Amino acid sequence: MAEELCFLSAHELQRGYRNRTLSPVEVTRAILAHIAEANPHVNALYLVDSDGALATARSSETRWRRNDPKGALDGIPVTLKDSIRVAGMPTGALGDEPPETTDSPVTARLREDGAVILGKTTMPDLGMIASGISSRHGVTRNPWNLERNSGGSSSGAGVAVASGFGPLAVGSDIGGSVRIPSAFCGTVGLKPSYGRVPIADPWQGLVAGPMTRSVTDTAMLLGVISRPDAADYTALPYDDRDYLEGLDSGVRGLRIGLLTDMGFGLRPEPDVRARVEAAAKLLSDLGAIVEPMAPIFDADPEPDFDRMVQAYSWPAFRALPPERQAVMLPQIAAWCREGGCLSLADLINATVGIGNTRRRVIAACAKYDFVVSPTMAVEAYAADLPWPEGGTRHNPFCFPFNLSEQPALSICCGLTTNGLPVGLQIVGQRFDDAGVLRVGRAFEAARPPLPDVPIRNVRRNRVAVAQ
């Protein structure tokens, strides 16, 4: 029973709390015990606040007994990516900082709703690679195969959700960092429309987003963390809606573009393409009108994006003490130093190029209600690599939709012949976060069931998991 508690959805936990068949304290204890047993294998959390989590769970239990919960997530366990500030916890990826004194907007909304914050999840140095390796936290491993990569940069968040370390996590995404680990770990990850979820330090393309095991849980979490906060001066006007409403409306009559070639980067591996095309066929069978799309680009737009993110990362790298710079992953350190050498002309040209990228993407998507594509062109690669052979060309499907500000959801559409998850990306028109959830839910409900993630059996078969 304790293991089953760890893999219940937030929606199931909420129902159990309401009818008093489940207890927030019982659930939190079960998940903390599972973390203690399984986290050494996957390295998803670098900080676990057991005392704080149990104290919050006890308060939640009291409220549920009075039938007076704070909100939809009262008593629901959640983990937060290291870059998201939590008062009383350090932000460990950037150095030996003292505990934070303030919460990020996301953290504040979760506390207001009564969520149980379990701890902080791992991420690569400065969040600047799509891989689960960190000079500070080591290697975060894929729970489907410990020799494979978890993806990044919300590495630990994706692994935590897949591994049963709470049904909810929050990551951040400037070029795929929510969707990539969700794709590699077989979970659901939403990159909301830019500005939908208030964040502490706004930057072009950067969002915070839900990472869960179901579309319903994603909708529940989005409804909480998208509440307004004056700290984000770029935030969209608050959309006071219940994202669960209309979730099961289906896809009949929707026009969906199938995009399997961006025009740059690696083409999808055969296994990946086959799973995505099968997913598109399933949406067609559900009544959607699915049409193949031509490639969006005739030249590689990544260098402009790369320069933008280098300019963003250089000040954070420069602020680190020399001894911390010296132990950072060499690939990231060298890349950050290049950011310090960019000229004004480089930055202007990159800004113009980013505008052109945005224009192309929005124009290509304009005649469709939604676009579906692979989330990643490749299956999860070796755990200890910063990227697979071919460099960063493995990720053409993610960052363009950050620049276009469109919502994009990654959901598992099956396993490769190697038993590794494949992510289907569902992209909506700007601001239609509810729409991508609706399409994702329709696919999820019709998709063949997925097998249990192997890490789930850690207590039953320690040897098999350790291998």
Catalytic residues: 81, 153, 177
- In angstroms, the CA 161 to CA 212 distance is 6
Tokens 């500000």 found at? 405
C-alpha span between 38 and 426 (Å, rounded)? 31
3-state class of 202 per DSSP?
A: coil
DSSP string, 164-183: TS-SEEEEEESSSTTHHHHH
CB 225 within 8 A of CB 106: yes
Number of Cβ within a 10 Å radius of residue 64: 23
Q: How far are the Cα atoms of 20, 22, 112, 117, 189 from residue 31, in angstroms, in the given order?
A: 18, 13, 22, 12, 21
Burial class (CB in 10 A: 0-12, 13-18, 19+), 135: middle
Q: How far is Cα 148 from Cα 203, in angstroms, rounded to an integer?
A: 31
The distance of Cα 353 from the centroid of its chain, to the nearest Å, equals 26
Pair type for strands 141-142 and 138-139: unpaired
User: Phi first, then psi: what are they for 422, rounded to 5°?
Assistant: -120, 135
Rg (CA), the chain: 21
